[in-house]
Amino acid sequence: MDPLVITVAPVGAEVTKEHNPNVPYTPEEIAEECFRAWNEGASLAHIHARNPDGTSTQDPDVYSRIIELIKAKTDMIVQVSVGGAVGMTIEERVGPVSLKPEMATLTCGTCNFGDGIFTNSQGDIEFFAKAMKDNGVKPEFEIFEVGMIETAKKLALKKLVDLPGHFDFVIGVPGAISGDPRNLTHMVSMIPAGSTWTVAGIGRHELSLGAMATVLGGHVRVGFEDNIYYSRGVKAKSNAELVARMARLAKELGRPVAKPSEAREILRLPRK
């Protein structure tokens, strides 16, 4: 079994300091959270950007500053979000791909997302996939529903992506697939042979599904994007606290935690 790749998602598009005062907004705050998480065992940073007032932005200049700061202090893999925030145009969302990061997220379908709709038409998905291919960026297939796996396979038939690939199962978003453990095992059974996978359990599902992934040979994403609590009613002090817990759990289960160099090999990232 490969070492466990721990992804940290320090801030998404939805959570705010009102939810948890430790949520980072500025490039400096986001990079510092990544640095602390790296020290605890995270090898991959999944990045959303924010404006100073906390609103979401896909401005490449802001992403560039975040990446610069992360790279100055760590050897982490940086993965930019092309999800952006609900309501953004596809042109806005794709902006950070122009920076040619090692990875970017490619959501493979539309789903309900809380009170909103996270829209990704087939044309949108192909637009994003082509931008990643043109810029030499490896996609992480973001899977919120089982049918999205078939979309990833369709993209491969159109030569827009390469398979086997890397899949991220985002499980427990209100309106999308639930946090039932059976959903994770079903999703794993549906991806192409040789593919790698990560689970991002939302809210209270972060720990239980992360433990499952560790045992099953997958990988794990934790962080404030997905969960702001350390335990019931107790808000996490930092993203690093959530990473450290997952690293301890992996050790207890007898699975080593991957360093960034090992994660690059596991995820088959192209040499830059």
In tens, the pLDDT along 134-177 reads 999 999 999 999 999 999 999 999 999 999 999 999 999 999 99
pLDDT of residue 270: 75
Distance CA 228, CA 226 (A): 7
Percent of the chain at pLDDT > 90 equals 94
Q: What is the pTM of this model?
A: 0.97
Phi–psi pair at 135, nearest 5 degrees:
-100, 5
Beta-carbon contacts of 100 under 8 Å, excluding residues fewer than 6 positions away, are 135, 136, 137
* pLDDT class of 86 with cuts at 50, 70, 90: confident
Answer yes or no: is pLDDT of 183 > 70. Answer: yes
pLDDT score for 271: 65
Q: What is the share, in percent, of the chain residues with pLDDT greater than 70?
A: 99
pLDDT in tens, 1-41: 899 999 999 999 889 999 999 999 999 999 999 999 999 99
Buried b (16+ CB within 10 A) or exposed e, 200-211: bbbeebbbebbb
Domains of the chain plus CATH, in order, are: 6-266 (3.20.20.70)
pLDDT tens per residue across span 60-79: 999 999 999 999 999 999 99
> What are the backbone angles phi and psi of residue 28, rounded to the nearest 5°?
-65, -45
Tokens matching residue 242: 């959530």
- pLDDT averaged over every residue in the chain: 96
